[in-house]
Amino acid sequence: MLDTVIFDFDGTLADTSGLVINSFQTVYKKFHGEEKPVDYISKFFGEPLRVTLEREFTQPLEEVMKEYREYQVSRFNDDVKLFNNAKEILQYLKSKNIKTAIVTSRMKFSVEQALHDFDIKKYFDVVIAIEDTKNHKPHPEPLWKAIDMLGTSPDKVLFVGDSKYDIECAINANATPVLVGWSIEIEELRNQYNIKHIIDDFSNIEKLIP
């Protein structure tokens, strides 16, 4: 029986796509002298930032990351919002004694600050960020670590995400993947992974919980 729902953060709980795209465009303009097509950047969603920047830029990594993060920090509170009914579903899950966690490729300080600012940190039993594991999504290690800390097992877990990294992480961990209907890759992911559960609104999660 399902007893746990684990969420990705970017693009799943919070609409960060515009901020992420603009952050990449900022560093592309500074270090490459031009922007990239949005479709090109969106393919990076869910990938650890360090991995992307190391591949995309020849400049010193810390210099590029500093520029990227400074832009994100300056714009986060204005540009990022929770998706509709995100807080409500978290309240519902807590009322049903369902365990909850975050598994994200964000830095710990960043996701912790965001959860605090959105007043939803209190709903999560565990937060696994990029620093917490050696391997990252789509490797199952981050999800397995959250599952172990929550004292449950993969067959009792829904993992809600928006990218191929989330879906593959869930599959690799033997948990049940749930794809959000606002994913920019929804049709591709639906067809490639034959996903059973796709939600158009967070309230749909109620139907998946016994």
The whole-angstrom distance between residue 119's C-alpha and the CA centroid of its chain comes to: 18
Catalytic residues: 8
Q: Quick one: pLDDT at residue 122? A: 97
Phi and psi at 169, nearest 5°, equal -60, -45
Q: Quick one: pLDDT at residue 210? A: 79
- Residues 62 and 49 sit within 8 Å (Cβ to Cβ): no
Residues in the chain, pLDDT under 50 = none
Q: Quick one: pLDDT at residue 56? A: 96
Tokens at 149, concatenated: 């800390």
With a CB cutoff of 8 Å and minimum separation 6, the contacts of 11 are: 17, 45, 46, 161, 162, 163, 180, 182, 183, 184
Q: Quick one: pLDDT at residue 46? A: 85
The whole-angstrom distance between residue 140's C-alpha and the CA centroid of its chain comes to: 14
Q: What is the DSSP letter of 37?
A: -
Q: Quick one: pLDDT at residue 98? A: 97
